[in-house]
Structure 1
Amino acid sequence: MSDITAWLARLGLGKYIEAFTANEVDFDALRHLTEENLRELGLPVGPRRKVLAAIAALNTDTLSPPSSVSAPAPPRHEAERRQLTVMFIDLVGSTELSQRLDPEEMRDVFHAYQSAVSAEIARYEGYVAKFMGDGVLAYFGWPSAHEDDAERAVRAGLAAATATASLTPGSLDQPLAARIGIATGLVVVGDLIGEGSAQEQAVVGETPNLAARLQALAEPNAVVIAGGTHRLVIGLFELIELGLQELKGYATAVPAWRVIGEADTEGRFDASHGVSTPLVGRSKELDLLLQCWQQVRTGSGHAVVLSGEPGIGKSRLAAALEERLRAEPHARLRYFCSPYHTNSALYPVIEQLSRAAGLRLGDSTSAKLDKLEALVLQSAPDLSEAGPLLASLLSIDFANRYSPIQLTPQAQKARTLGVLIEQLERIAARQPVLLVVEDMHWIDQTTSEWLALLVERLPDLPVLLVVTFRPEVHPPWLKQSHVTAVSLASLGRDEGEAIIRRLTGGRSLPSEVTNHILAKTEGIPLFVEELTKTVLESDFLVDAGDHYQLSRATCSTDEDVNGGWYCEVF
């Protein structure tokens, strides 16, 4: 990896790394980029301004050659209090390596390791705060924040471990390994400390120390997370509980978990979208979906698009429909678009096929082909075309079973999309189909083409298509007569209070706490749930039987209630 990757990551522009590398933009070329060049690379106005300003600053630095240029620090921010996920990565055995290797060889090892892990951090839009020889400190949630920073950090940690394990510098006879610790908590971030080249943006709080301590617990190429991170990613990853750990500098033992890998796609999605919680305040929308389903049962397909802000309940409404149809004969197909795979062609389709076929990571090529054929034969009598096309789509080597595909890449793409639609048609010929496409705002281009073909065929198929996306998405097929658009609004106060009561088991919260929860969450049901859970897990409330009350240690005056204690949570 070139230094351009870390440079973009430090600017908060990690999503554009692929565009720069695909066009062979290195530091020498970077200095000569124009606004028109950046437009051709696909950068919108804001990122173009940011890159041009950074290039101008880079061009004034004549002291550092490109090979040693470090990414610029982000613009100075006022110190602020915010939740941050901190990742600390340490190279295993670096002291031993330094004794075995020449200093120049050791420098090459450090460079390869730092480049590999910073590329993965950038891929998930984290911020490399500091290189410390064999250590790398990274932040997720500052200077730019995402709703899923904890998940991004864990994904980046797993990817960094894999990337490090793939490195075997020429002077070594075994691959490198890294230990990774991740913690999430409140910090104060943004103060500048130090001078000159040693100047850095400081993070003050327990979280960085906890991440560093957890790193020391990790086995080589393993990721260990703290309780704050665990609460935010539970259900998204396979975890092993490590129990309470005695850590240096901590008066009490700290719980920790080792991350094994991603959870299965459906479970991961349901966990992150809160679909297991009761549905509140969406009876009209659910009735509309059920009416559309009755129409589908007569053989006339329909599409319903559910749009709304993050957390508004789009996925929960789709899940409620699935629950109501559970007793009816039908086929259910679910496709999940992902913010981490917007450039991966047909990613939601590939994931769905893999789940449906029961493919496992350890399966042999032959076993994978057997499973795929068993799936295809359920709806197609002939494997001669569908077999090799779908095997190719799933990256399964089929050379020993099928003839080579004699098509151009464009023709193969078109026939693959055709085969996918034909598969759906055959399934629908046997029973009605509920097909749900989640998070279309993250759809890749090829899946979007497949979806457009499906919408075109819908009127002749007993298929109810439900698509969820955020308000900024405007599919070209939205105004077709067999498509119904539903925009989900925020919940009212009564509905918000109903969510709170369900989470408290019917026990009332102090009125000021309820008011703050509802004011901060602005009628977004997922946010109401999450903030209520945070309050209930805090030390600010005491269970008083049929209600909760503020703890005496928390506040003793109205001024404390209205201006002090809740800032820790809210």
Structure 2
Amino acid sequence: MNCLACGQENPVGFKFCGACGAPLDAPAPAAREERKIITVLFADLVGFTSRAEKLDPEDVRALLSPYYTRLRHELERHGGTVEKFIGDAVVALFGAPVAHEDDPERAVRAALAIRAAIAELNEGDATLELEVRIAVNTGEALVALGSRPELGEGMASGDVVNTAARLQSAAPVNGILVGEATYRGTSHTIEYRDAAPVEAKGKANPVPAWEAIAARARYGFDVEQRPRTRLVGRERELDVLAGAFDRVRKDLSPQLVTLVGVPGIGKSRLIAELFQVVDRDPELIHWRQGRSLPYGEGLSYWAVAEIVKSQLGILETDSTETAEAKLRASVTEAIGDSQEAAWIERHLRPLVGLDVAVAEGADRRAEAFAAWRRFLEGVAEGSPIVLVFEDLHWADDGLLDFVDYLADWASGVALLIVGTARPELLSRRPGWGGGKRNASTVTVSALAPDETATLLAALLDQVLLPAEVQEAVLKRTEGNPLFAEEYVRMLQDRGFLVQTGGGWQLEEREQLPLPETVQGMIAARLDSLESVDKQLIQNAAVLGKVFWSGALAALTGRERFLVEEQLHGLERKEFVRRERRSAVAGETQYAFLHLLLRDVAYSQIPRSERADKHTGAAAWIESLSADRSEDRAEMLAHHYLEALQLVRITGGDESVLREPARKALTGAGERAIALHAPAAAVGYLEAALELTAEDQPGRAGLFFTYVKTKAMLGGLGLELPARAHELALASGEFELAAEALSMVAAEHWVVGEHDLAIERAEEAFALVADAPPSRRKAQVRDAVANRLWISGREGEGLELGRQG
């Protein structure tokens, strides 16, 4: 039986899901929605509607059937979801329901493939004469995760879809137009030319557009051999790689080294640095590199095929005859025995595209593995060889089995096998490389803050960066080198970071935007999780960068031990980490491994759901012990304020939130005052006043506290204390009115209006002259006495100061 909450299959007889603990007989959950960055592909045939008017419906279907079939094939081959066919037009989504880090590139490559497929169809049937206009656009959409496009249910809604349609109608015949976000995310792998901005109906400004011409590399695979900046903070890892290479040459024994780390942490950079080490060596050394692709059909052994084709010198443009000749010559050169060479050649043919596919039967696969190994050993007998398998986390089990087999069975040759992978590989294969003396795993961790600062200085070609520039990027990137590079590039491209005579200057902004490339990487990692784990991450994101297992149990309604088990798994996958100490007694404290992980997960939650979750978080905080509750005042205020603002935006009922939010904000303001943080206190108190009715008891005192706190920041003026005086008088709080009027007097004194200052000060004291002794009365009296003394009326000041 499949769990309706998370989709996990459970044995017959289970009453609760073994993965998430949900009741298996519970009703189906409501359809979930997420905010996601998606890429929309819109394609429409040109002039076919008028042509179809003259044809019988059956003839129209027969004419278009090959087109529809090929269109769907290319879209799905590149990882797209066909949302709908509308006549002779199609809308496809990339990044929905599941995100991939390269969704914009996938979509543009699919568009290029569709254009090529139509040309091929036209060549095969001269009567077709099909022409097409295509557009690709990237942006945020609300995605219905449970929708069924095959039944006509819509999946995505948002301006990104409408803009794609506008771009499509403006595209040239057989042309592909892309929007700005798509262009930014793919300009390094797709060749473009400038196009005129599109005047789109309903848009205030023209939509920037570019025309896609061709892909720079067939599958986006380019080996970086000359890094842009010097290596920072990775000397130890590079020494491990270089040391392993020295050992294989000395011992003639293979070594397997796997670099494991989160996206952007520097695995590919280390490969590039190792290449430089190998390239400087005077001995002839073979360097062969292959990558596992995240999409495409028939690519099980793609990385091995890349390596073999590179060794054989076979190009994509080679004819069958040329490829066969190169295969035969290379195998003969590497393998002396003609019979063995023929056997190896037979098993290499599928890898280089000369036969249909690699046989997958157990015996046949074992024989193929042996043949591939013998070929690589034969090459290594002549010269040392380095084999690089990139992105092993995307590899299927067949490729992983071969790499494992190669490390186990190759012998007597100088062969270094280097793999790169994300932590997900170790979740799939916990024993990867284990039990082998010739295998090691190197964890590539985040850079230290000083190392990241050095990297930023190198990127901007400036030894000392302005503090605000360095702090802004360090805070967001948290030691991830690629994130740092992408942030710098994004800030420069969008004009937020500009070079002036005095160096780099960062435009003042409340929040820095997130580069699309970085957002795509993180969203893809989140979508790789089981649904129940992803939802837990999203709930944690509501709580903040730091969160507690008890809070998650309260938000999800699940048992704490189940939540702890999930968090343990997420810790192994390097999404979160457990903190050694907790700020909440009796609670296990966790933190997101990276702030951007939290930001992306939070951004995916629809606003109405966010409001409910923030309210739930506030309720959990209030349920904690009342002892030292003031320590949690700011946290409580944050959740109530976020919930209230989200309810307002979505048009919900805010009445139940106003009073608890007002109290929480007031408490947070008082806490900030006690901590000598007047700027923060003013912000909290302003928000509390917005929620306090004009006639609500306590408003005068709250407003006075706000004014008094604002005075700590300087430049108060007369208006605010005068207003505080009026409110206090109206509510009959004369001591409060007197203190407010005393502040008015102080403002007059500051600008040199001494007579007015004394007059207002005396009026203030008159309000409390007959009142019993109190702190406020004493403060007002002393203020009047001091001003009288300073203005030369020492006797009056002294006499007033002696009064009780």
Same fold (TM over 0.5): yes
Report deviation, 1:242. Answer: 2.5
1:425 aligns to 2:360 (yes or no): no
Report deviation, 1:534. Answer: 0.4
**Distance in 1 of aligned mates of 2:404 and 2:384:** 20
Report deviation, 1:236. Answer: 3.0
Q: Which amino acid aligns with 2:417?
A: L
Q: 2:32 aligns with which of 75, 85, 92?
A: 75
Q: 2:452 aligns with which of 467, 492, 496?
A: 496
Over 3 Å counting, the alpha-carbon distance change for 1:274 and 1:166 in structure 2 is same
Q: Deviations over 1:54-113 (max 9, x none)?
A: 9x99xxxxxxxxxxxxxxxx7334xx5x64423221123322332232245435656764
Q: 1:366 aligns with which of 321, 324, 333?
A: 321
Contact 1:181 1:214 in 2 (8 A): yes
Q: Give secondary structure in 2 for the equivalent of 1:242.
A: strand
Residue 242 of structure 1 aligns with which residue? 193
**Distance in 2 of aligned mates of 1:284 and 1:543:** 34
**Distance in 1 of aligned mates of 2:355 and 2:414:** 34
**Distance in 2 of aligned mates of 1:156 and 1:171:** 22
Report deviation, 1:411. Answer: 4.7
1:566 aligns to 2:508 (yes or no): no
**Distance in 2 of aligned mates of 1:224 and 1:53:** 45
**Distance in 2 of aligned mates of 1:357 and 1:97:** 50
Q: 1:308 aligns with which of 246, 261, 278?
A: 261
1:256 aligns to 2:210 (yes or no): yes
Over 3 Å counting, the alpha-carbon distance change for 1:260 and 1:567 in structure 2 is closer
Q: 2:433 aligns with which of 477, 497, 506?
A: 477
TM-score by length of 1: 0.72
Q: 1:287 aligns with which of 207, 228, 239?
A: 239
* Structure of higher RCO (CA pairs closer than 8 Å, 6+ residues apart): 1
Report deviation, 1:528. Answer: 1.3
**Distance in 2 of aligned mates of 1:455 and 1:408:** 21
Matches within 5 A, 1:486-565: 486-506=442-462, 510-551=466-507, 555=508, 561=509, 564=510
Report deviation, 1:417. Answer: 1.9
TM-score by length of 2: 0.53
Q: Which amino acid aligns with 1:566?
A: L
**Distance in 2 of aligned mates of 1:208 and 1:508:** 45
Report deviation, 1:200. Answer: 7.0
Contact 2:194 2:209 in 1 (8 A): yes
1:435 aligns to 2:387 (yes or no): yes
Contact 1:436 1:466 in 2 (8 A): yes
Over 3 Å counting, the alpha-carbon distance change for 1:301 and 1:127 in structure 2 is closer
Residue 368 of structure 2 aligns with which residue? 416
Report deviation, 1:409. Answer: 5.8
Residue 62 of structure 1 aligns with which residue? none
Residue 345 of structure 1 aligns with which residue? 300
Contact 2:95 2:103 in 1 (8 A): yes
Q: Which amino acid aligns with 1:446?
A: G
**Distance in 1 of aligned mates of 2:371 and 2:154:** 58
Q: Give secondary structure in 2 for the equivalent of 1:485.
A: strand
**Distance in 2 of aligned mates of 1:218 and 1:174:** 19
Over 3 Å counting, the alpha-carbon distance change for 1:92 and 1:409 in structure 2 is farther
Over 3 Å counting, the alpha-carbon distance change for 1:446 and 1:512 in structure 2 is same
Residue 558 of structure 1 aligns with which residue? none
Matches within 5 A, 1:72-221: 75-77=32-34, 80=35, 83-106=37-60, 113-114=67-68, 116-162=70-116, 164=118, 173-174=127-128, 176-184=130-138, 186-187=139-140, 189=142, 201-204=156-159, 208-209=162-163, 212-213=166-167, 216-220=170-174
Report deviation, 1:542. Answer: 3.1
Q: Which amino acid aligns with 2:347?
A: L
Report deviation, 1:447. Answer: 2.3
Q: Deviations over 1:290-345 (max 9, x none)?
A: 22222122123322111111111112112111111212122212121111258633
Contact 2:292 2:390 in 1 (8 A): yes
Contact 1:84 1:141 in 2 (8 A): yes
Q: Give secondary structure in 2 for the equivalent of 1:390.
A: helix
Residue 396 of structure 1 aligns with which residue? 354
Report deviation, 1:358. Answer: 3.2
Structure number with the higher strand fraction is: 1
Over 3 Å counting, the alpha-carbon distance change for 1:130 and 1:274 in structure 2 is farther
Over 3 Å counting, the alpha-carbon distance change for 1:167 and 1:386 in structure 2 is same
Residue 628 of structure 2 aligns with which residue? none
Aligned-residue RMSD, C-alpha: 4.2
Q: Which amino acid aligns with 1:242?
A: R
Larger radius of gyration: 2
Report deviation, 1:490. Answer: 1.0
Q: Which amino acid aligns with 2:104?
A: A
Over 3 Å counting, the alpha-carbon distance change for 1:419 and 1:456 in structure 2 is same
Contact 2:221 2:291 in 1 (8 A): no
Q: Give secondary structure in 1 for the equivalent of 2:300.
A: coil
Q: Give secondary structure in 2 for the equivalent of 1:100.
A: coil
Q: Which amino acid aligns with 1:484?
A: S
Identity percentage of aligned residues: 29
- Which one is further off, 500-509 or 430-439? 500-509
**Distance in 1 of aligned mates of 2:156 and 2:444:** 40
Report deviation, 1:457. Answer: 2.9
Residue 342 of structure 2 aligns with which residue? 384
Q: 1:323 aligns with which of 260, 263, 276?
A: 276
**Distance in 2 of aligned mates of 1:416 and 1:294:** 30
Report deviation, 1:533. Answer: 0.8
Over 3 Å counting, the alpha-carbon distance change for 1:289 and 1:565 in structure 2 is closer
Q: Give secondary structure in 1 for the equivalent of 2:53.
A: helix
**Distance in 1 of aligned mates of 2:456 and 2:494:** 15
Q: Which amino acid aligns with 2:247?
A: Q
- Which one is further off, 533-542 or 150-159? 150-159
Report deviation, 1:408. Answer: 10
Q: Give secondary structure in 1 for the equivalent of 2:245.
A: helix
1:228 aligns to 2:181 (yes or no): yes
Contact 1:439 1:470 in 2 (8 A): yes
Q: Give secondary structure in 2 for the equivalent of 1:384.
A: helix
Over 3 Å counting, the alpha-carbon distance change for 1:163 and 1:256 in structure 2 is same
Over 3 Å counting, the alpha-carbon distance change for 1:152 and 1:465 in structure 2 is same
Unaligned runs of 5+ in 1: 1-12, 14-32, 38-43, 58-73, 399-404, 556-560
**Distance in 2 of aligned mates of 1:131 and 1:373:** 48
Report deviation, 1:45. Answer: 7.3
**Distance in 2 of aligned mates of 1:376 and 1:347:** 20
Report deviation, 1:182. Answer: 1.6
Contact 1:190 1:203 in 2 (8 A): no
Report deviation, 1:244. Answer: 3.8
**Distance in 2 of aligned mates of 1:345 and 1:53:** 39
Q: Give secondary structure in 2 for the equivalent of 1:311.
A: coil
Contact 1:508 1:546 in 2 (8 A): no
Report deviation, 1:286. Answer: 0.9
**Distance in 2 of aligned mates of 1:416 and 1:531:** 45
